[in-house]
Structure 1
C-alpha cells in the first residue's frame, strides 16, 4: 500500500497468489504501522480481492473510503503502477530467487531502506518519502507554534 501524500510504501506482503487474504493482511499491516488513522481513502483497481466482502468490511470497520479505478484504465492508478514498474526494473528483472525468505529480504531492503528513505520523487520536490514527511510535519509544527504565540 502506497501513501499518495508522500509516496511512502506503508504496507506490503508477499504471497503465492493475489487474493483477499493478502489484501486484508497488507491493509491491516499498513493501518497498524500508521497508527490506525481514520478517514483514509483506499484506492485500488477493480480486482476481485478488492471487491471481496471481507476487504470491504475491513475498510468499513476502519472508517476508510474505497475508491476504484475505472475498468481497464491504468492511468487511474498511475502512482502505484509507476512504483511497480520501478520495483520490477530495480529488483525483479534479471533476478532469480531461491526462497520466499530471500525475496522478502530483497524487498525489505528495496522498500524500507532505499525506496522510503533514499529514493527521491519529483512529486515530493525531489525528497525521499521519509524526508518529505519530516519536512511537512516540522513545518506543520512550526505553523502551530506561530499561530498560538
Structure 2
C-alpha cells in the first residue's frame, strides 16, 4: 500500500496515514495481510552456503544403487557411507547420508533400548586376536526336522566367525564340535593345549556348564569366562552375530531340512567373514581386519 500512488493527488500515502483516514486499526491491516500470505505457495527453503560437489539427488541415487548391489539387507547408514567413499569415491559427510536415508525411508527399522548401569565395565573387545572367543547357541525351525540347534564361535577382537555346528540336539557334544572347528581353523590342529591362554566366553547354559564341555576346553588350554546372569550383553559379540545371521538368512525363510540349514549357514559364514563391514574394525570385514593386523605385525617385526 505504501508503494501505491494516489491517482487523484499523485502522491504516496503510508500505511499509518491511510489507516487513520479510514479509521481502521493497523493491527487489523497486518493480520489480514498475514492471512493472505498463508494462501500463497510457500517457497522451499534453500541450502545456505556453497553448494556441495554432489547434489542431494545424485547422492540419493548413489545410495539406492549401493543398497541394490549389496548382498545384505537392512544395513545402516554407516556402511553405506563407507562403501560410497571406498568403492565409488564419493566423499560426503556421514550425517548427510543419514539424513537422506531417513527422509526417503531407506533406514532399517530398529528399536532403541536403554538399560540401567551394570556392574561390568561394558568393554568386551580385546586388543588383539586370540585372547577371547565367544560361544553360544540358537535355534532355527525346519519343516521336516523341527527346531535344530546352531552353535557358533566368534572372535571378540574382530567379530570373525571361527567355527559353527548345526545339530538336532543342542547338547554338550554339539557345543564342543563348534569350538573344535574354531581351534582347527585358527591353529591348524586340535592337539592338547592347542589354544593355551585363550579365554572362552559363554553363558550358563547346560551345554556349556556340562563336565564334558568344561573338560574338553581345558584339554585344549582354554579358560572359561562366564557371562553375567541375566545380562546377555556381556556375551554381546556372538549375540550380535546371531542377530545378523537371523536377519539375513532366517527371518522370512522356510527351511525344509537340517541339511538346508547347514548349507545356508556355511554360505553365510563365508560371505560374512569376507564382506560384512563392522564399525569396530574401521568399517572393514573381519577377514580384512585380520589381514591388516598380520601385515602390521610383520612390519613391526621387520
Please tell me whether residue 56 in structure 1 is matched to residue 214 in structure 2. Answer: yes
Higher relative contact order (CA 8 A, sep 6+): 1
Q: Select which of 257, 261, 273 maps to 1:103.
A: 261
Please tell me whether residue 135 in structure 1 is matched to residue 287 in structure 2. Answer: no
Q: How big is each residue's C-alpha offset from its partner over 1:96-131, in whole Å with a ceiling of 9 and x where there is no partner? A: 11122211111111111x110100100101110000
**What secondary structure, in the 3-state scheme, does the structure 2 residue paired with 1:116 have?**
helix
Equivalent position of 1:118 in the other structure: 275
Q: Select which of 150, 165, 175 maps to 1:13.
A: 165
Aligned-partner Cα distance in 2 for 1:41–1:58: 13
For the pair shown, which has the larger CA radius of gyration, 1 or 2? 2
Over the residues paired in the alignment, what is the CA RMSD in angstroms? 1.0
Equivalent position of 1:28 in the other structure: 180
| Correspondence 1:70-81 to 2 at 5 A | 70-81=228-239
**What secondary structure, in the 3-state scheme, does the structure 2 residue paired with 1:37 have?**
coil
Aligned-partner Cα distance in 2 for 1:73–1:18: 22
More divergent stretch after superposition (129-138 vs 93-102): 93-102
Aligned-partner Cα distance in 2 for 1:37–1:69: 20
Number of aligned residue pairs: give it: 144
TM-score normalised according to structure 1 size: 0.93
TM-score normalised according to structure 2 size: 0.47
Shift of 1:73: 1.0
After TM superposition, where is structure 1 displaced by more than 3 Å over at least 4 residues in a row?
none
Shift of 1:37: 3.2
Equivalent position of 1:45 in the other structure: 203
Q: Select which of 79, 82, 91 maps to 2:240.
A: 82
Unpaired runs of at least 5, structure 2: 1-152, 188-193
Q: How big is each residue's C-alpha offset from its partner over 1:24-69, in whole Å with a ceiling of 9 and x where there is no partner? A: 1111111111113321110011101111111111111111110011
**What secondary structure, in the 3-state scheme, does the structure 2 residue paired with 1:11 have?**
strand
Shift of 1:82: 0.9
**What secondary structure, in the 3-state scheme, does the structure 2 residue paired with 1:72 have?**
coil
